[in-house]
């Protein structure tokens, strides 16, 4: 069966996916639609607890403000060296909310390789470990441990 060369494409599908431009948009949508829904399950002193989208957004907002207060500005690069924890998620979303370029780095990497990656990134700050969600001491490439 031959396809006519003069055929035109007619878009009859009226569905358009919602515009999402990044992680922060995804979080904001969840906060708007279901702020009390479970976003994460965390373990605190051996007990499991739910972290809602509303709470997660509030923590990310606080993180963004504190990163800005530490002198980091939109477009600055930060390394995020942290295990898969709630702190990782808060630091990632907070840095994204602040407009920072975030590069997660595997904490299991050998130190020379990790240092090389962070140097190549040109990181102005490196957030690490559980305290990655507490950036008060972060400024000018400081490590938060």
pLDDT score for 75: 94
The string of DSSP letters for 66-95 reads HHHHTT--TT-EEEEE--SSHHHHHHHHHH
Provide the residue-wise pLDDT of the chain in tens; the chain has 145 residues: 555 555 555 556 666 666 667 888 999 999 999 999 999 888 777 788 889 999 999 999 999 999 999 999 999 999 999 888 888 999 999 999 999 999 999 888 888 998 899 999 999 999 886 544 444 433 334 443 3
Query: Which residues does 34 contact at the CB level (< 8 Å), separation at least 6?
Result: 53
pLDDT score for 138: 36
Task: Identify whether the C-beta of residue 56 lies closer than 8 Å to the C-beta of residue 96.
Answer: no
Task: Identify whether the C-beta of residue 48 lies closer than 8 Å to the C-beta of residue 41.
Answer: yes
Distance (Å, whole) CA 139 – CA 96: 17
Distance (Å, whole) CA 124 – CA 121: 9
pTM: 0.73
Query: Which residues does 31 contact at the CB level (< 8 Å), separation at least 6?
Result: 53, 54, 57
pLDDT score for 131: 46
pLDDT score for 125: 92
Three-class SS state of 57: helix
Alpha helices in 1-133 (DSSP H): 23-33, 53-69, 86-97, 111-121
Three-class SS state of 7: coil
Domains in the chain, ordered, with CATH?
23-144 (3.40.50.980)
């Amino acid at each position: 069966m031959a396809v006519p060369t003069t055929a035109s494409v007619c878009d009859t599908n009226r569905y358009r996916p919602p515009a999402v431009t990044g992680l922060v948009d995804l979080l904001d949508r969840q906060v708007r639609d279901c702020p009390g829904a479970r976003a994460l399950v965390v373990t605190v002193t051996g007990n499991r607890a739910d972290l809602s989208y509303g709470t997660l957004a509030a923590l990310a907002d606080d993180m963004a403000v504190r990163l800005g207060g530490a002198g980091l500005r939109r477009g600055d690069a930060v390394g995020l060296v942290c295990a898969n924890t709630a702190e990782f998620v808060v630091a990632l979303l907070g840095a994204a909310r602040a407009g920072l370029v975030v590069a997660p780095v595997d904490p299991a990497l050998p130190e020379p390789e990790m240092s090389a990656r962070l140097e190549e990134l040109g990181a102005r700050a490196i957030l690490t470990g559980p305290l990655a969600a507490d950036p008060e001491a972060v400024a000018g490439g400081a490590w938060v441990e």
